[in-house]
Amino acid sequence: MADADLYLDCFAGICGNMLLGALVDVGVDFHELHDTLAALPVTGFDLTCERTQRAGIAATHVQVRCAESHHHRRLNDCCEIIDRSALPARVKEDATRTFRCLAEAEAAVHGITVDEVQFHEVGAVDAIVDIVGTCWAFNRLGIRHAYHGPVNLGDGLVTCSHGNYPVPVPAVQRLLVDRPTLHGLAAISGVGELTTPTGAALLAALTRPATATTVQTVLGTGYGAGDRDSAGFPNCLRLNILAMAAGATRRETIVELVCDIDDSNPEWLPAAADDARMAGAVDVTFAPITGKEGRPATRVTALCPPDAAPTVEISLFRHTTTFGVRRRELSRVCLVRRWTTVETPFGPVRVKEGWLGDERLQVSPEYRDCLACSRNHGVPVREVYRAALASLPAAGEQPARDEAP
């Protein structure tokens, strides 16, 4: 089921282990997932998996059991664990972005800075396993786009460290701003919390709301069981793997965010671009311009999916000196992409292909792979680049859709 899209039907809400269970149910190998998470530089947890039922529906229940501790972790601690791991770069980026979404929501709710947010040790380990495991499984399946329908938040009250809170808790409400939600189930009152902060953060960082045009062929369906076996409804997350129809090109909506800066240390700008990409931007560019009163300035342009635009806007405000960000919605046409890994004398390198119908028009070796090989062997990057192109096989068959790196 690799190289497909994903749709999450959150009729009973979503939490981290429900999503992991649905991913295993749809085909991710649990033993490979377990070994990947066990290799993380973090201890004090155990991961189990079992087939079960929820209101008569067969589902997979993945459970994270954590040892009790009174220690706390901050965002930087969690990000360091992810960065020190041997996970693929894309998994690290997705997991870090998810944790940042969670920390930003908690910071806004409590009126503190992101760096002051503390995750209780058990909650932090649980979240690390759920978030890293989900990001790894997305990458393992080759998921390019993930969508979700209305998210059931539940109803009633939930008990937390600050007392009894109405459902949803504030962090969940903030994470799902501008996304479709439901409150509870018809004819059933007081179901409690159905969507957790970790589940909401995964939706905010990795998915976008489905639209009426999100119509695709279902390749497979999986169910992830929640911890509770509630009476009257299946406490499950339903996950569909989708296949896009073949096409010569892909047309999509993209948001362009622009700000002009004439009072910033230029050394700060590369870091600002990195933060914008972590917030969801697909590309960030700089261009020299002449500002007001003839001052030299830099135009920062970030392109991002519509659902990521608010987060990228906040990133630009936080990490540059701009007082305003211009925004416009554009339509772009893209070649269908396919990723191929080639073996060179300096090591493996991924190569991105661009297809127009049955014609391969573009090939581009992945720069980060070329840079790593060049440093390992002490040769110029251009030599690795040339070797990758020379090792590229014949075009073969055209891809039916975009393929994930």
We report the CATH number of the domain holding residue 303 as 3.30.70.1380
pLDDT tens digits, 323-373: 999 999 888 888 877 888 899 999 999 999 888 877 888 999 999 899 999
**299 domain-assigned:** yes
CA distance 354 to 398: 10
CA atoms within 13 A on the CB side of 312: 29
**398 domain-assigned:** no
**399 domain-assigned:** no
**pLDDT of the residue at 355:** 83
Q: How many independent structural domains does the chain possess?
A: 3
Helix, strand, coil percentages in the chain from 3-state DSSP, rounded to 5: 35, 35, 30
**pLDDT of the residue at 1:** 44
Say if residue 269 is in the same domain as residue 209. no
* pTM for the structure as a whole: 0.64
Say if residue 103 is in the same domain as residue 123. yes
Among residues 145, 189, 195, the alpha carbon closest in space to that of 175 is found at 195
Looking at the DSSP bridge assignments, the partners of residue 297 are: 289
**197 domain-assigned:** yes
Say if residue 237 is in the same domain as residue 379. no
Q: Domain end: 213, 243, 273, which one?
A: 243
**25 domain-assigned:** yes
**401 domain-assigned:** no
CA distance 402 to 405: 10
| H/E element, 180 | none
**pLDDT of the residue at 136:** 96
Say if residue 145 is in the same domain as residue 226. yes
Q: Which regions in the chain score pLDDT beneath 70?
A: 1-3, 68-71, 120-123, 161-162, 212-216, 244-251, 396-405
Residue 402, Cβ density class (10 Å: 0-12 exposed, 13-18 middle, ≥19 buried): buried
Say if residue 319 is in the same domain as residue 345. no
pLDDT tens digits, 80-104: 999 999 998 889 999 999 999 999 9
Angle, alpha carbons 226-230-235 (nearest 5°): 35
Say if residue 85 is in the same domain as residue 116. yes
**pLDDT of the residue at 246:** 52
CB 52 within 8 A of CB 21: no
Say if residue 98 is in the same domain as residue 170. yes
Say if residue 117 is in the same domain as residue 90. yes
**pLDDT of the residue at 121:** 47
**395 domain-assigned:** no
**pLDDT of the residue at 241:** 92
CA distances from residue 189 to 51, 99, 151, 230, 404 in whole angstroms, order as listed: 28, 32, 17, 12, 42
Q: Domain end: 273, 299, 324, which one?
A: 324
Say if residue 233 is in the same domain as residue 112. yes
Cβ neighbors of 255 (< 8 A, separation 6 or more) are 303, 304, 305, 306, 308, 309, 327, 328, 329, 330
Residue 202, domain extent:
5-243
CA distance 189 to 178: 25
Bridge-based pairing state of the strands 208-209 and 146-148: parallel
CA distance 167 to 208: 22
Q: Which amino acid is at 38?
A: A
Q: Domain end: 284, 301, 324, which one?
A: 324
**39 domain-assigned:** yes
Say if residue 12 is in the same domain as residue 55. yes
**pLDDT of the residue at 66:** 86
**pLDDT of the residue at 145:** 83
Say if residue 114 is in the same domain as residue 215. yes
**pLDDT of the residue at 403:** 52
Say if residue 377 is in the same domain as residue 305. no
CA atoms within 13 A on the CB side of 139: 19
